[in-house]
Structure 1
Amino acid sequence: MTQLMGRPILGLPGELGARSVLADLLTGVRAALFTFAAIAVPVLALWVVTPYADDTAAGAGRVACSLWLLGHGAPLTRGATAAPVTVTPLLPALLTAVLLYRAGARIGRRGHRHWRAPVAVCAGYLAVATAAVAQCATEGVLRARPLPDLIAVAALAAASLAAGLWSATGPWPLPLGRFAGRVPEVPDWARPVGAGPVVRRAAGAGGLALVAAGGLVLAVAAVLGAGAAGRSAEALGGGAAGFVGLLLACAVLLPNAVLWAAAYALGPGFAVGTGTAVAPTGTRLGALPDLPLFALLPEPSGVGWQLLACALPPAAGVVPALLLGRAAMGEQAAPEGRPAWHPAATCLAALGSSLLAGAGAAPAAWLAGGALAAGRMSALGPVPWQAGLATAGWLAAVTVPGALLTRWWLTRAGTPSWWEQLAALTNRRTARTRAALHRTLTWAADLPSPLARWRSRD
């Protein structure tokens, strides 16, 4: 009996060893509270250290709830005029996506493809979001819009969980049904066998390279405009607490600024208000709020070194070109023995990765922009379709020829040169002659010399 009591019941297979719905529900609640704490703790700390604070702790909590909802892409309104505030701080959104992605991956590693667990995690997350919406639904500086806000939170949670499940279990089969037969058949020589994972990796690598290019552009702008940004922060700070709060606000908007800089390097640029444009070909600005990030914008006068930023997207396209060119070699590069791709199949894979990267750049540009108020500040950030089209165009222009060149170079590296081929042909054609000459020389070497025979007579 004591041996049976020492055995863990949770180790048994079947329903007894399965994770309960309550545990998945608490996983969603825990993820939501963790992301909320990442915003609420700095807000409440600044409220505590701010001298002569006009608001109460409940007001500070309301601000934290509003910022948490805004970090999920939820639209808010500001003031008595209900001015829209739709700019999503991407740093909290990335934190939320990472946590829920990991939760989805853990669900996928259990090996059970069932809808119950991800729905329970989403329900737990939405329970916290409902409480935050209820806190911000009344009149205030920032006011929530219940239905759109809950839809935005649910969309981010569901997308992050689905991505985690995809990474752990692979893509789920699509119910194409009768539509599958209507897809035109691609010839075998133009079909890149096993290109799905490679194309996704190449698209992700190209996107990350463009983000790195945006970070480089932003770093250069920060170095050149450090003086103006410092003066703006000093004027707005008004004290240590205000200065720290301003730095935190710039930090949560830093991924947005990186994507804006990437759109600048791509060519279309971005807007900082209606009727404005910030691009390498020229800058047209109007009246702007006195914010440190806006102080980093280029001057409207002239076009000079800014055109050098346009050299970064072609450099970013080299990364997916190398990945696809190596994958095109088939069994020479892949251990699973996959056949090599035809040049047409390599072009098709490169074009697909470019289009996939452009399809991801458009929603990223949409999330990075938005509105801060009505009127002039109702248009901020890149135009999504322009950013997606520029991303696909730049990457396709570099990735397609780059992948072909990489494939040719790797094929050439495994093929003997013309000199080596000529030497091998000469060796094959003269093999018999060299063998006969060798036998003749060996026979001649074995013959005794006349001098040796003359000496032997003496």
Structure 2
Amino acid sequence: MTERPLSSAADPLVRGGRSAALGTAFVRGGVAAGLGLGAVAVLVMAAWIGSPYPDSGPGGALHTAAGLWLLAHGADLVRGDTLSGAPAPLGVSPLLLMVLPGWLAHRAARDTLESDEDGPKPSIGGAVAAVTAGYLLVAAGVVVYAASGPLSPDPLTTALWPPAVVVASAALGVWTAVGRPLPEREHAAAALRAAVPALLALLGGGAVLIGVSLGWHASATRESFTNLAGDWPGRVSLLLLAVTLLPNAAVWGAAYGLGPGFALGTGAVATPLEFTGTAAVPPFPLLAALPPEGPGSWPQWAAAVVPLAAALAPGWSVGRAARLWKAREAALTVLVAAGLCGAAMAVLAAVAGGPLGSGRLAEFGPVWWRTGAAAVLWSVVVGVPTALGVRLWARRGLTPRPRPAAPAGASAPPGSVPPGSVPAPGRGTVPEPLPGEAAGRRKSEMEDDDDSGFEPYDYLPAAWEPAPPPPPSTPPLPSTPPQPPPPAAPPMPETPPESQAQPPPPPPPERPAPFA
């Protein structure tokens, strides 16, 4: 006997149906949440073990890990055991720490649709919903556990930010699994492609500003680092915290270059034009690289290079794609790209800032709506003229398409132009395409008043060359009356054998000569 191989795909009881696939996605979401929580717990326990003077036991360290895991999802934490007795909120989420749970939820949703197992797979919406449900079930247990610790989660932000982060990450994972498709509309896809480099340019420019400022204030940064941590375990923990906050600093730098700046406590705002108010800055290495108080000077004004360069990116991208578009379509595409970039910057500014305590520390970081509005304004003011200019430059190699020559004697229709010429802007009619041209030419190119009838120079003659002559036609043969058959020739006499080898003379064309 031969043994039958065990195959879960061949067994209908094990294989299941779509409900089994949804259950697998649910489990994947829960496992993703558990992996992220375990990674944060390992880091916190390692810092607790290495600390020479721990404030609490292992239970307090685990409660702290649960609170930090929720903080990594955007939820605010509230510390109750303060010196004043008033609860102190903590709402600055480390953006680098948020990458871990987002990537885990993204991978769980992607693997749900990319699995090699035979059988039905869940739909796109079902995969996102199942992964999110499994993830949030674990998150609900963590919220209950962290509520009894020193850092309890805030109910409002906990109900808002963690579900939004998980749903967005799972949706990106499903989008990756189906091949990252772009919108079918050409203009929407171009706007999406233009918003991404603009956002990356803003964040990269903000990171450059922070790096330059840290190098400028290197001594103050070093002094702040050594004063906060005297032993090596403390220095390592402080260094890890500073590294996780580097993306936050990049968002702050981008908001500073855009113009709105960021708040450093209630009533204190740092902008390129002026540093107003008195900053309530806690001792931290990244905060040692702040601009000086008072009116700004040329080093602060130079930060405007960041949004200027970022606003050129969508204009350049849309201008290259709008070679055959109308000018209005190119401008509207830049507006959509500016809106997408502004919305992304507003979300990042909302997560990168928040309260660091009560009182004067209740406002810390960039204001989200001002940052988003400034990003939209820069992208529109600089991006639209850039897109139109790049579009005109890309069209410089196009040449007008001549009209076909009208047949002789035909009357020209009203409003038409002579063959080989181009109607003036706003006048005349649009010429019809030539017989050999491509049939799928865009309708917007045919209806454009400014640049109607353009074709590459290599395929058609220029405007000053004569139009090609029509193909020659074969004239019909004239009709002739039927000719009578020629008269029959008389019989030939017999010839001697010597003359039989030679052919007889041909008969005359009209009348044969009498036989002699």
TM-score class, shorter? 0.7 to 0.9
Q: What residue in structure 2 maps to residue 436 of structure 1?
A: none
| Aligned counterparts, 1:89-104, within 5 A | 89-104=94-109
Question: Deviations for 1:122-153, whole angstroms, at most 9, x for unmatched residues?
Answer: 2221232223222221252x122456425432
CA–CA distance in 2 between the matches of 1:118 and 1:198? 26
Q: Who is 1:158 aligned against?
A: 167
Cα distance per residue 1:105-130 (max 9 Å; x no partner): 34455764254433332222123222
In 2, Cα distance between equivalents of 1:383 and 1:147:
19
1:21-420 paired onto structure 2 within 5 Å: 21-80=22-81, 81-108=86-113, 112-113=122-123, 115-138=125-148, 140=150, 142-145=151-154, 148-169=157-178, 194-284=186-276, 285-304=278-297, 305-329=299-323, 340-414=324-398
SS at match of 1:55: coil
TM-score by length of 2: 0.70
Contact in 1 for aligned 2:30/2:137 (Cα 8 Å): yes
Query: Which residue matches 1:443?
Result: none
Higher helix share: 1
- State the shift of 1:390 in Å: 0.6
Equivalent position amino acid for 1:321 in 2: G
Contact kept, 8 Å, 2:25 with 2:108, in 1: the verdict is no
Distance 1:193 1:55 in 2: 58
Per-residue CA deviations over 1:280-338 (Å, capped at 9, x if unaligned) read: 11113323211111111111144221111101211112222222112113xxxxxxxxx
Query: Can you list the C-alpha shifts for 1:373-408, whole angstroms capped at 9, x where unaligned?
Result: 111000011111110111001111222111112211
Q: CA deviation at 1:33?
A: 2.3
Residues 114 and 391 of structure 1, relative CA distance in 2, 3 Å threshold? closer
SS for the counterpart of 2:281 is: coil
SS class of match (1:20): helix
Q: Which amino acid aligns with 1:270?
A: F
Counterpart amino acid of residue 94 in structure 2: P
Letter in 1 for 2:51: T
Distance 1:38 1:223, change over 3 A: farther
Cα distance in 1 for partners of 2:399, 2:113 equals: 44
1:178 alignment counterpart: none
Q: Secondary structure at the match of 2:275?
A: strand
What SS is found at the alignment partner of 1:345?
helix
SS in 2 for 1:84: strand
SS at match of 1:202: helix
Q: Deviations over 1:420-456 (max 9, x none)?
A: 99xx879957x9xxxxxxxxxxxxxxxxxxxxxxxxx
Q: How far does residue 344 in structure 1 lie from its aligned partner after superposition?
A: 1.0
Maintained 8 Å contact 1:355/1:392? yes
* C-alpha RMSD of matched pairs (Å): 3.2
Q: What secondary structure sits across from 1:283 in the alignment?
A: strand
Give the Å deviation of 1:82.
Answer: 1.8
Moved more, 17-26 or 119-128: 17-26
Change (3 A) 1:386 1:38: same
Q: Alpha carbons of 1:400 and 1:20: their partners in 2 closer, same or farther (altered >3 Å)?
A: same
Q: Distance in 2 between matches of 1:147 and 1:95?
A: 23
C-alpha displacement at 1:171, in angstroms? 10
Match of 1:373, SS state, is: coil
Kindly indicate whether the alpha-carbon contact (under 8 Å) linking 2:194 and 2:314 is maintained by their aligned counterparts in 1.
yes
Q: Is the 8 A contact 1:325 1:406 kept in 2?
A: yes
Post-superposition shift, 1:169? 4.6
Distance across 2 between alignment mates of 1:52 and 1:390? 46
Answer whether contact 2:261 2:269 (CA < 8 A) is retained. Answer: yes
Superposition deviation, residue 195 in structure 1? 1.2
Residue type at the aligned position of 1:10: A
Q: Which runs of 5+ in 1 are unaligned?
A: 173-191, 330-339, 432-458
SS at match of 2:285: coil
Secondary structure of 2:256's aligned partner: helix
Structure 2 counterpart of 1:63, which letter? T
In structure 2, what residue type is equivalent to 1:299?
P
- Rate the CA distance shift 1:377–1:426 in 2: closer, same or farther, 3 A: closer
User: What CA distance in whole angstroms lies between the structure 2 residues aligned with 1:310 and 1:158?
Assistant: 35
> Structure 1 residues 131 and 2 mapped into 2: Cα distance closer, same or farther (>3 Å)?
same
Question: Aligned in 2, Cα 1:97/1:235: closer, same or farther, shift over 3 Å?
Answer: same
1:129 and 1:150 in contact (8 A); partners too:
no
Of 143-152 and 41-50, deviating more is 143-152
Aligned residues: 397
Shift of 1:167: 4.7
Give the C-alpha shift of residue 7 in structure 1.
Answer: 7.6
Q: Which SS does the other structure have where 1:10 is aligned?
A: coil
Partners of 2:53 and 2:207 lie apart in 1 by 38
Helix, strand or coil for the counterpart of 2:78?
strand
Question: Could you tell me how far 1:244 is from its partner in structure 2?
Answer: 1.0
1:218–1:261: 8 Å Cα contact kept in structure 2?
yes
Cα displacement string for residues 245-299 of structure 1 (whole angstroms, at most 9, x for unaligned residues): 1111111211111100000011110001110111111113323211111111111
1:237–1:246 contact (8 Å) kept in structure 2 = yes
Q: What one-letter code is carried by the residue in structure 2 that aligns with 1:159?
A: A
Matches of 1:116 and 1:346, distance apart in 2: 37
Q: What is the match of residue 429 of structure 2?
A: none
For the residues of structure 1 that align with 2:379 and 2:124, how far apart are their CA atoms? 38
In structure 2, the CA distance between the partners of 1:295 and 1:426, relative to structure 1 (3 Å rule), is: closer
Amino acid across the alignment from 1:274: T
